[in-house]
Amino acid sequence: MLSRKTAQVALNTIWMQSLGQLMVLYFLWIFICGYSESERVQDLMSRSPLIDGHNDLALQLRIHHSNRLSHIDLHNVSIVATDITRLQAGQVQAQMFAAYVLCGAQDKDAVRLTLEQVDVIRRMCTEYKEFELVTSAQELRNSETRHKIACLISIEGGHSIDSSLPALRMFYQLGVRSMALTHTCNTPWAESSSKHYSVYQREKDSLTDFGKAVVEEMNRLGMIVDLSHASWDTARAVLNHSKAPVIFSHSASYSICNHSRNVPDWLLHELKKNRGLIMVNLHSRFISCRDKASISQVADHFDHIKEVIGAESIGIGGDFDGAMSFPEGLEDVSKYPALIQEILQRNWTESELADVLRGNFLRVFEEVERVRDQLSTNQPSEIQIPFKKAENPCRLVFRPPDLRSLPNLSSRDQHRPAGLLILAIVTVLSSLFMIQ
């Protein structure tokens, strides 16, 4: 028989060997699980690549390059957070590019500036073979099978149409398929969530009759109504009036971060009734209410909104190149897999995440088009905003000018045309005499 001491040594040896084996198995498990999670995300996103609801690359192209695409290569663009290489790395298959102009252009040249932004988006999405401009849900689906990055065009701010339904229709003809009713300024017909500008202040009139006409015309056209930047009262009024689902293209949860740009729970419930979509914004200020945020805090917004209205009402709208700061690890469009991995670790199913990545947006887009088809017999709206409502000194009243009100010409200007005529007659006569 073994002595007590020998037995103890043998047991210790066996225990140490077992512990070593367990440690090896543990680290092997960690390695395998870490690898499989990353692979699982890549596999999921390859099957359901992202449709991102909001990106401001076009704004940065104007700021840094004056929209001169010939001076840059969109495969690799410094300073900005978006280029073709990083979109591909982030598994972004479709991007809603915003045509945005500053609120300071309202009542001035907002329409011209917006046209120029639409032009640069159309150019970049037709001049690069990796991109494809799409204007329907079916074209969006088809672009995935062709392995293209689909480009959708949105207008960020109703001031871009200068309170004109014909201008809205012309933007639709140019390929615009979504419009945010406001940006950081009120329009004559809708109220912003921001108080930065004091223009068009109203009491208890967050969506005017003309504003309802804008929503109705967008429903008729098949253009997605975007409520990001709209006040809560305006959003509620739109949700009660729109026949089609609407979106918040880049907003987060007010319960997690009490910023006025975010959406409170009571409004989320109204959105659920509308069958609409909130596409979670990644701007740090809207995530943590501070300049710094983490991926975990972003995932908290997804968890909360899922708990309130379900995963079927959620999408992603990063706001890259529009916001100033983003969570650590989500600095540009290539980092989306890190966010999906964080959410996947929180017991979301792959089916739920596939809908968040693209399925939910496709459903909304298709329902917007179904409403358009149902309204196809309706004629284009001819409703006009009253001049006194627009308060715009640049709006011209279409009527012949009163000649009596025109400024008097100086005596020099009055004689100049006659002098030129006499000179012309003399020149012609001289020519004739020379010919003879």
Torsion sign over Cα 145, 57, 54, 139 = negative
Q: Which of 52, 54, 191, 321 is catalytic?
A: 54
Could you confirm whether 56 is annotated as catalytic?
A: yes
Which of 159, 229, 283, 301 is catalytic? The answer is 229
Is 241 marked active-site?
no
Whether residue 187 contacts residue 106, with contact meaning beta carbons closer than 8 Å, is answered with yes
Which of the following is catalytic: 83, 132, 162, 183? 183
Q: Among the options 52, 56, 132, 191, which is catalytic? A: 56
Integer distance in angstroms from the first to the last C-alpha of the chain?
A: 146
Question: 338-347 b/e with 16+ CB inside 10 Å = b?
Answer: bbbbbbbeee
Is 156 designated active site?
A: yes
Question: Distance between CA 252 and CA 302 in Å, rounded?
Answer: 8
**Measured between alpha carbons, how far is 415 from 409 in angstroms, rounded to an integer?**
10
- Given 83, 162, 217, 250, which residue is catalytic? 250
Could you give the CA distance from residue 21 to residue 31 in angstroms, rounded to a whole number? 15
Separation of alpha carbons 90 and 33, rounded Å:
21
Coil, strand or helix at 276: coil
DSSP collapsed to 3 states, 151-214: EEEEEECHHHHCCCHHHHHHHHHCCEEEEECCCCCCECCECECCCCCCCCCCCCCCECHHHHHH
Catalytic pick from 132, 319, 332, 352?
A: 319
Which listed residue (107, 156, 226, 300) is catalytic?
Answer: 156
109 is catalytic: no
Any catalytic annotation for residue 54?
yes
- Checking phi first, is residue 38 left (phi over 0); if not, alpha (psi -120 to 50) or beta? alpha
Is 183 considered catalytic here?
yes
Element (H, E) at 95: strand 92-99
How far are the Cα atoms of 5, 196, 385, 394 from residue 103, in angstroms, in the given order? 86, 10, 19, 16
Residue with tokens 């543990």: 26
Which residues form the catalytic set?
54, 56, 156, 183, 229, 250, 319
